[in-house]
């Protein structure tokens, strides 16, 4: 039997619908932390229902995990810690720390308290 490529803990995962970025109306971006770095998995399915079912399954498992971890927390407090959309995404231009390099176009993502940038949206 094949081994999974990676195991991701449910408490470090985030899932957001990203149809424009992925180029598919049923696109989902899953982000997680590994070795203090944000990693991305981009998925889609021909069935929109299938993608929504995966999104809801992730939220359901997270909700259960958080209810066990924080038994006195209210449901509303728990809901605020579930999957979230990125605050802002888009292209900007950046230069290096010495500001001598040419500006380069990069895809920036503001996620809660982290600002990340990538060469491309994917």
φ, ψ dihedrals at 58, nearest 5°: -60, -45
Please indicate whether residue 14 or residue 49 has the higher confidence score (pLDDT): 49
Please indicate whether residue 28 or residue 109 has the higher confidence score (pLDDT): 28
Q: What would the pLDDT profile of 10-29 be if each residue is shown by its tens digit? A: 888 989 998 888 889 999 99
Q: Is residue 9 predicted with pLDDT exceeding 90?
A: no
Q: What would the pLDDT profile of 60-79 be if each residue is shown by its tens digit? A: 999 999 999 999 999 998 88
Those residues whose C-beta lies under 8 Å from the C-beta of residue 57, and which sit 6 or more positions away, are: none
Average confidence (pLDDT) over 103-122: 80
Fold that domain 1-84 belongs to in CATH: PH-domain like (2.30.29)
Residue ranges covered by each domain of the chain = 1-84, 86-122
């Amino acid at each position: 039997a094949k081994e999974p490529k990676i195991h991701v803990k449910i408490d470090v995962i985030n899932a957001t619908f990203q149809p424009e970025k992925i180029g598919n109306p049923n696109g989902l971006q899953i982000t997680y932390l590994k070795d203090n770095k944000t990693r991305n998995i981009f998925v889609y399915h021909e069935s929109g229902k299938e993608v929504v079912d995966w999104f809801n399954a992730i939220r359901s498992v997270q909700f259960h995990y958080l209810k066990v971890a924080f038994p006195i927390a209210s449901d509303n407090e728990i809901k605020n810690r579930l999957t979230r959309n990125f605050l802002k995404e888009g292209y900007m231009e950046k230069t290096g720390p010495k500001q001598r390099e040419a500006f380069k176009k990069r895809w920036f993502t503001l996620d809660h308290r982290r600002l990340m940038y990538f060469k491309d949206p994917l």
